[in-house]
Amino acid sequence: MTVASPSPTTSATTAAPAVEAVALRKAYGPINAVDGIDLSLPAGRIYGMLGPNGSGKTTLIRLLTGLVSATSGEARVMGVEMPSRTNLARIGYMTQADGIYPELSVWENLSFFAALYGQRDRAEMIRALELVELDGRLGTPAHQLSGGMRRRLSMACALAHHPAVLFLDEPTVGVDPAVRVQFWDHFHRLAAAGATLLVSSHVMDEADRCDELLFMREGHVLAQGTPADLRARAGTDNLESAFLHFAGLSASPPATAGSSQEAAR
Amino acid sequence: MSALRVTAVVRRIIAQFRRDPRSLALLFAAPVAVIALLGAVLSGSGASTARVAIVSESSQPASAAVVSRLTAALQGQPTVMVNTDVHDAATARQMLKDKQLDLVVNIPADFTVQSPKLQLVTLGLNPTGEASVIPNVQQALFKAVAGNLGGALPSIERSTVYGSPDATTVDTLAPVVVGFFVYFFVFILTGISFLRERIGGTLERLLATPVSRAEIVLGYSLGFGFFATLQVATVLAFVLGRLDIPSLGPVPAFAIGLGVHTAGNPLISYLLVLILGLGAVSLGIFLSTFARTELQILQFIPIVIVPQALLSGFFWPIDQLPSLLQPVARVLPVTYAIDGLRQVMIAGADLTSGQVLFDLAVLTGIAAVFIVLAAATIRREVA
Ligand SMILES: Nc1ncnc2c1ncn2[C@@H]1O[C@H](COP(=O)(O)OP(=O)(O)O)[C@@H](O)[C@H]1O
Ligand SMILES: [Mg+2]
């Protein structure tokens, strides 16, 4: 399968980091869902955002896409201050809840979102469905798909317009292992072609597939670095223990990040 | 504004409804069924014979002659039975109350030959049903009085024992029903569709694309405008058209459609209803902000729909509402649609009529206000 390069960026913005946050904060009443985050993520890499439920991953993505307005601070994507409607054409967003229309077929969902992004190339749309292995179910209404299939359709809808920056909010939840492997292979191809991916997860099992990790807790980024780097800094060979180390919690008894809430997504 | 994106939204809405045959059926079959029922009920009650008495409260010498002329004229009518035993107004009124009479023709105390005036009195408990006896009586009266009084047409006053008169028949109800149904269905369907966007997570997804709020509102308006157009066409065809089916064996003859006479241009009626419908789309989007579940959208029916049914001239003329409620009636969009539809369908007004233009202007203004409100409430802020 060939991978088309992401939409070309203007020379003025290529120098800027793909994703930037400056003292970004979002308060919901007394809760600081995102509590002063600074980020500067160069393009062409896969960033994994790891943290238990409620650590602010979804809110951070919503701030970066301009879907919620920041209480304070700034968010920039490809050097453009968000919210910016035109900049959204270069961004792909796979929401945590599947943002697809249950009455519509696989093809109707995909072509609807593709049209909103200005993507009219039928071959590209088919290719996005091939990647998620839904090209054989073009006419199936989305409500007849399994949970994992809906997740895959949701992914195709975020990819079909070849975004330069992709925000994927817990993309692999409910997706079977074989398709997961394929997803990650594709993520790496996209990154190699210059795209930037920010992938959130509340479990650690895919963390090693990311180029760089952001450990998140209570609206803060606890630590940032490559998986190997974070392990070394925490003095452990296990990312879960590393998370607990940076969270200021003791490494024993062993527990997974957000273990108590893992079932309740 | 991108035509491609607006088209995408329109096509999506149409595709969604194609998948929902129940809602589609509701959209087209329900108004037709209700109007058919209404037509059947009203024409059924019109078939019975009206028991009529003619009395006089006038001391004018001419009035006795008028009474006998009217009696003679009405006795020739097939659906009228004149009770000649009653002569004074008080007795006649009592007989109306006792349901021994359906209609009393009264020559009032201020009757003069120069300005002849008659009163038609019914009970007033059920103005719509009672009104069905009036047209043929009225016809006969016009002829009798005009012949008798040398050309001066009498003015005929409607009055009732209880309440106020309202000469509503299928003809005058049809425009009302057309306007009201479109408003009702468009509001409910848009409200629920948009609520589903909000709670189903697709609105967040939509707002993460380059589509603008104006494009969403426009797409929704065009999509639902498409269905409103089909609905109006269906309803108008049913109300205005009439296809008589002859009796066949044991099946008696019947007619499909009401064959209501419309004086004006159906396209102007359609224009009125379309602008009303656009306002309803935006109102649905706007109010979906204040609902968390589909049940809560239905809770807007008593707040949004019922007052418009009561106050918009559906049942009672605005002028006869209590003065406190008149200003309320005058801010309701359905009021102006019904007024415009009546002007066009009954009085035959066209776009040169100041009243119709005024109604169109007010409807456009109301729609514009709600379009702005709708666009403002599709906030980028979601979840
Ligand atoms: N719309 C909202 N209103 C109020 N609180 C919210 C809202 N969205 C998120 N929060 C709160 O912000 C915190 C972070 O939530 P979220 O970003 O969804 O975390 P995560 O995606 O990491 O699970 C949670 O405490 C959550 O309750
Ligand atoms: Mg989340």
Domain boundaries, chain A: 15-101+166-249
Q: What is the mean pLDDT of residues B160-176?
A: 55
Interface-testing mutation among B1, B6, B192, B202, with chain A (most A C-beta atoms within 10 A): B202
Distance A240 CA to ligand 1 centre (A): 23
What pLDDT is recorded for position B163? 43
Contacts of B204 in chain A (CB under 8 A): 62, 67, 95, 97, 99
Strand partners, A34: A26
Tally Cβ neighbours within 10 Å of residue B27: 22
Beta partners for residue B158, in sequence order: B120
Name, of B5-9, B40-44, B323-327, B342-346, the range with top average pLDDT.
Answer: B5-9
Q: Which CATH class is domain A15-101+166-249?
A: alpha beta
The two structure tokens encoding residue B178: 């057309």
Q: Looking at residue B351, what is its pLDDT?
A: 86
Residue A108: its pLDDT value, please?
95
DSSP B105-142: EEE-TT--SSS-EEEEEE--SSHHHHHTTHHHHHHHHH
Model pLDDT, residue A182: 84
Are B208 and A65 an interchain contact pair (Cβ–Cβ within 8 Å)?
yes
Query: Are B177 and B35 in contact, with CB atoms under 8 Å apart?
Result: yes
B residues 31-50 closer than 8 Å to A (CB): none
Q: Which of A59, A65, A67 is the best substitution to test chain B (most B C-beta atoms within 10 A)?
A: A67
B189, pLDDT greater than 80: yes
pLDDT value of position A155? 93
Q: Spell out the residues 6+ positions from residue B310 whose beta carbon is closer than 8 angstroms to its own.
A: none
**CB of residue A95 inside a 6 A radius of ligand 1:** no
Q: For ligand 1, say whether the CB of A56 is within 6 Å of any of its atoms.
A: yes
Measured between alpha carbons, how far is residue B165 from residues B124, B131, B158, B256, B316 in Å? 6, 8, 6, 30, 9
Confidence of residue B165 (pLDDT cuts 50, 70, 90): very low
Distances in Å between the Cα of A53 and the Cα atoms of A155, A171, A243, B93, B201 are 21, 15, 14, 78, 18
Residue among A67, A86, A117 minimizing CB distance to B204:
A67
Q: What is the pTM of this model?
A: 0.75
Question: Is any atom of ligand 1 closer than 6 Å to the C-beta of A109?
Answer: no
Q: What is the ipTM of this complex?
A: 0.84
Residues in chain A: 265
Which pLDDT band holds residue B87 (cuts at 50, 70, 90)? confident
Percentage, residues of chain A above pLDDT 70: 88
Longest alpha-carbon distance in chain B: 85
* Nearest atom, ligand 1, residue A68 CA: 1
> Distance between CA A227 and CA B145 in Å, rounded?
103
* Ligand 1 touching residue A112 (CB < 6 A): no
Cα-flanking dihedrals φ and ψ of residue A120, to 5°? -120, 5
Task: Please name the member of A68, A89, A101 whose beta carbon is closest to the beta carbon of B16.
Answer: A101
Q: Does the pLDDT of residue B318 top 80, yes or no?
A: no
If one compares B343 and B8, the residue with the highest pLDDT of the two is B8
The size of chain B, in residues, is: 383
**Cis omega before residue B31 (within 30°)?**
no
B219: helix, coil or strand?
helix
pLDDT at B150 over 70: no
User: pLDDT averaged over chain B?
Assistant: 80
Q: What is the pLDDT of residues B213-233, one digit of tens each?
A: 889 989 998 998 898 888 888
State the CB neighbour count (10 A cutoff) for residue A250: 10
Query: Tokens for B310?
Result: 């009561």
Average pLDDT of span B93-121 = 82
Compute the distance between CA of residue B205 and CA of residue A110 in angstroms, rounded to an integer. Answer: 12
Block residue for tokens 């809110």: A59
Contact A68 B381 (CB under 8 A): yes
Do A124 and B32 contact (CB within 8 A), yes or no? Answer: no
DSSP conformation letters of B12-60? HHHHHHHT-HHHHHHHHHHHHHHHHHHHHHHHHHHTSPEEEEEEE----
Q: Residue with the nearest Cα to atom 4 of ligand 1?
A: A28
pLDDT of residue A19: 93
List Cβ neighbours of B307 (8 Å cut-off, separation of 6 or more): B328, B332
Whole-number Å distance between alpha carbons of B72 and B49? 17
Q: Which of A67-71, B128-132, B276-280, B364-368 has the weakest average pLDDT?
A: B128-132
d(CA B78, CA B83) in angstroms, rounded, equals 14
| Cα distance between residue A73 and residue B131, in whole Å | 70
Average pLDDT over residues B349-359: 87
Other Cβ atoms closer than 10 A to A155? 25
Token representation of residue A199: 């992938």
Percent of chain B with pLDDT over 90: 13
CA B94 remoteness from chain centre: 33
Q: What are the residue ranges in chain A where pLDDT is below 70? A: 1-15, 250-265
Q: What integer pLDDT is reported at residue B130 of this predicted model?
A: 62
Token digits of residue A84: 């910016």
What is the pLDDT at residue B167? 37
Q: What pLDDT is attached to residue A12? A: 46
From the list B8, B20, B204, the residue facing A112 with the nearest CB is B8
Q: Where are the domains of chain B?
A: 50-160, 169-382
H or E segment and range at residue B99: none
Q: What is the pLDDT of residue B107?
A: 84
Residue in chain B nearest A97 by alpha carbon: B201
Mean pLDDT of B69-85: 79
- pLDDT, residue A263, reads 39
What is the per-residue pLDDT across B18-32, written as a single tens digit (0 to 9) for each?
Answer: 888 888 888 888 888
User: What are the b/e assignments for B58-80, b being 16+ CB within 10 Å?
Assistant: beeeebeebbebbbebbeebeeb
Q: What is the pLDDT of residues B240-273, one digit of tens each?
A: 776 666 677 776 666 666 666 666 788 888 888 8
Please tell me the CATH superfamily of domain B50-160, with its number. abc type-2 transporter like domain (3.40.1710.10)
Closest C-alpha among B55, B173, B144, B153 to residue B106: B55
